[in-house]
Structure 1
Amino acid sequence: MSSNETLKVLQIASSGMEFFHEQVRVLRGLGIDCDVLYYPPDSRKKKQIHDGLLRKVYGHNPIYYAIRGSLFYPKIVQSTLQTDYDIIHVNSGVVAPLGLLQPQRPIVLTLWGDDLLGNRLAGYQSEITKICAKRSNEIIVRNEEMKNVLPCDATIIPSGVDTSRFRPMDQTASKKAVGWNAADLHVIFPYPKSQTKKRYHIAEQLVEQANMALDETVQLQTISGVDHEDMPQYYNAADVLLLPSLREGSPNTVKEAMACNVPVVSSDVGDVRERLDPVSNSYVCSDDSELKDALVTVLQTGGRSDGREYVEEVSLDRMGERIVAIYESLLEDTEDHNQEII
């Protein structure tokens, strides 16, 4: 690829997560021509029924994923035959084997966290991810823990936050906008209750303990299924973000709260300690007792954090620039290798 040509990348992803949408958007803004394939590729009801039957027969195990992968394979072949992509960028270890189905183009593999550190498929997912990582040309991970787990080298690039969207707003006006009681204290838990690793039941217990320790009423606000563009209003209405999670990669919720100058109380997971280390009125905790004490302290003292001062390093633009640098370096290495063969 010459310097004046547009770099063409096929993005393969396991789902349409908001942070993946934003990654594609910022890469396109930087001049990268991105096509996207989602696995599973079709959300129509007929396909959902078919997938549901597969899952009922085989369960979430390697056989189920192998069958789904074989059904997805023609789409990858068709895409790579129709378009001369420079790079295949596979996003998530769940779809990592699919990138290897085409051996002609260099592969960038981004791991999100649970695909490497979690216990999916009774631990098999982590092992499959490691095998695929060794066969990829470049690997991107979210934090140092993930890098240390891999059997090969990787580049740490935290997921990025849109600092133009997530910014400080007036808290009183934000409470009114989202319909929260202006007299109460509000703890935001921006995840579905069903996500086991987020430990909603612990969040409930911590807020109950905070209510017993404080004179004011503390409300736990569970937010999910809200349009991402509306989330800044919810963050700004909150007094603190609570993340008692078991494991994370580089949680965007923490960085979004930082960008809004909202205090954060979190368990010590992923890159949270690195992100919050310089931030005022925010705490990273080793156990549930520390989480309770930190939550009470933040609610008791009041005030915002200075997180926005430290979030630029993990802005969307910075993330995009670093990914593009990996693309360009990989293509240079590939071209040099091809020249040596010639």
Structure 2
Amino acid sequence: MRVLVVTSYNNGAVAPFIAEQVDALRRRGVICEYYLLTGTGWSGYLRNLPPLKAAIRQFRPDVIHAHYGLCGLLCTLQRQVPVVTTFHGSDINDRRVRPLSMLAYRRSAHSIFVSRALARRCHATERGSTVLPCGVDTELLAPMERGEARRRLSLRPEQPLVLFAGAYDDPVKNISLARAAMAYVPEARLIELRGYSREETAALFNAVDLLLMTSHSEGSPQVVKEALACNCPVVSVDVGDVREQIDGVDGCCVVQRDSRSIAQAIKKRIRHPLHRHGRSRLTERGLDNMNTAKKLQSIYSAVGEKAHHL
């Protein structure tokens, strides 16, 4: 099976969860190559169509796997190779790009939604679509002793640490609400999840007391699954599929979208830490990368076989 993976390269790197998914597919014997898109907006993406077609002729894939709606729509402008499009959240939640993402959904041979809520927003049917959250590299993201994790990152051993689930300057992540909550917890330090290597990120999940998510919108936030893989507690507003991800996990909770409620949850988890077993929840749901890759292989095979018989 030969798969051309199409995704944005505007930030100068492939998103880690996509790169790790591709690594897992390759380990399962799938031959994967990237086509990396540059350009902003639909007009910027359209300029990629001629070189994309050239890459298809050269690589001769059985299936194209596009990540995000705009990438998917661009890929469906060629009709030689069937397209599987994964919708990650921002492509559906953002009203500016939702119409184009809906068009990508209708034109794709198969659509993958990372949460049930996203599938519902697209009025997706079971035929031709699958709900499949992105998996986690559970070999890289694994529990370690907190003291060792803090030593690796040169963090103070006794200070309460709260990891913010994203970059401060990302408006979707809602840093203002997080800061308002942290004002009630002056003894704790808020850390921005930005600028760390993947190995440092794994250590960071183990070093902090909890992960804090205050986003306005999400799909199936990868950062929550990564925290669970490291047995890191999660305090989150009700967004994306977080409630489903952390349901029944000690030390994790969904709170109201107000600063006092969030602060109370943070204080409780700092002062009364519970046994951590988020990783077992992740395993129960089959959200490791190798299991996700196995499911993707099945989708690719079905799509490729159907296209072959047309």
- Does the pair score TM above 0.5? yes
Instruction: Give the counterpart of 2:103 among 108, 131, 134.
Output: 131
**Contact 1:268-1:284 within 8 A present in 2 as well:** yes
**Contact 1:207-1:218 within 8 A present in 2 as well:** yes
For normalisation by structure 1, the TM-score amounts to 0.84
SS of residue matched to 1:90 = strand
Please list, as runs of the form range in 1=range in 2, the aligned pairs for 1:148-167 lying within 5 A after superposition.
148-153=120-125, 154-167=129-142
Shift of 1:163: 1.0
Partner residue, 1:311:
282
Partner residue, 2:59:
83
Partner residue, 2:24:
26
Distance 1:35 1:125 in 2: 26
Deviations 1:58-86 (A, max 9, x none): xx6xxx531x2332112111112223211
Partner residue, 1:282:
252
Q: Determine whether 1:117 maps to 2:93.
A: yes
SS of residue matched to 1:302 = coil
Give unpaired runs (5+ residues) of structure 1.
Answer: 1-6, 41-50, 52-59, 212-216
Partner residue, 2:198:
228
Distance 1:165 1:110 in 2: 24
Partner residue, 1:204:
179
**Contact 2:163-2:192 within 8 A present in 1 as well:** yes
Instruction: Give the counterpart of 1:321 among 272, 294, 304.
Output: 294
The one-letter code matched in structure 2 to 1:299 is I
**Contact 2:136-2:226 within 8 A present in 1 as well:** yes
Shift of 1:190: 4.3
Report the CA distance shift for 1:302/1:151 in structure 2 as closer, same or farther (over 3 A).
closer
Partner residue, 1:71:
47
Distance 2:78 2:115 in 1: 28
The one-letter code matched in structure 1 to 2:276 is S
**Contact 2:114-2:134 within 8 A present in 1 as well:** yes
SS of residue matched to 2:183 = helix
Q: Determine whether 1:171 maps to 2:129.
A: no
Distance 2:177 2:70 in 1: 28
Shift of 1:304: 4.5
Aligned length: 300
Distance 1:144 1:131 in 2: 19
Partner residue, 2:78:
102
For normalisation by structure 2, the TM-score amounts to 0.92
Shift of 1:152: 3.4
The one-letter code matched in structure 2 to 1:101 is L
SS of residue matched to 2:98 = helix
Shift of 1:39: 0.9
Cα-Cα RMSD: 1.5
SS of residue matched to 2:194 = coil
Give unpaired runs (5+ residues) of structure 2.
Answer: none
**Contact 1:130-1:151 within 8 A present in 2 as well:** no
SS of residue matched to 2:48 = helix
**Contact 1:262-1:304 within 8 A present in 2 as well:** no
The one-letter code matched in structure 2 to 1:267 is V
**Contact 1:110-1:141 within 8 A present in 2 as well:** yes
Distance 1:167 1:81 in 2: 41
Deviations 1:153-179 (A, max 9, x none): 321111111111111111112112211
Partner residue, 2:34:
36
The one-letter code matched in structure 2 to 1:251 is P
The one-letter code matched in structure 1 to 2:217 is R
The one-letter code matched in structure 2 to 1:107 is V
Distance 1:65 1:137 in 2: 21
**Contact 1:263-1:282 within 8 A present in 2 as well:** yes
**Contact 1:186-1:240 within 8 A present in 2 as well:** yes
**Contact 2:250-2:274 within 8 A present in 1 as well:** no
Report the CA distance shift for 1:290/1:103 in structure 2 as closer, same or farther (over 3 A).
same
Partner residue, 1:251:
221
The one-letter code matched in structure 2 to 1:331 is G
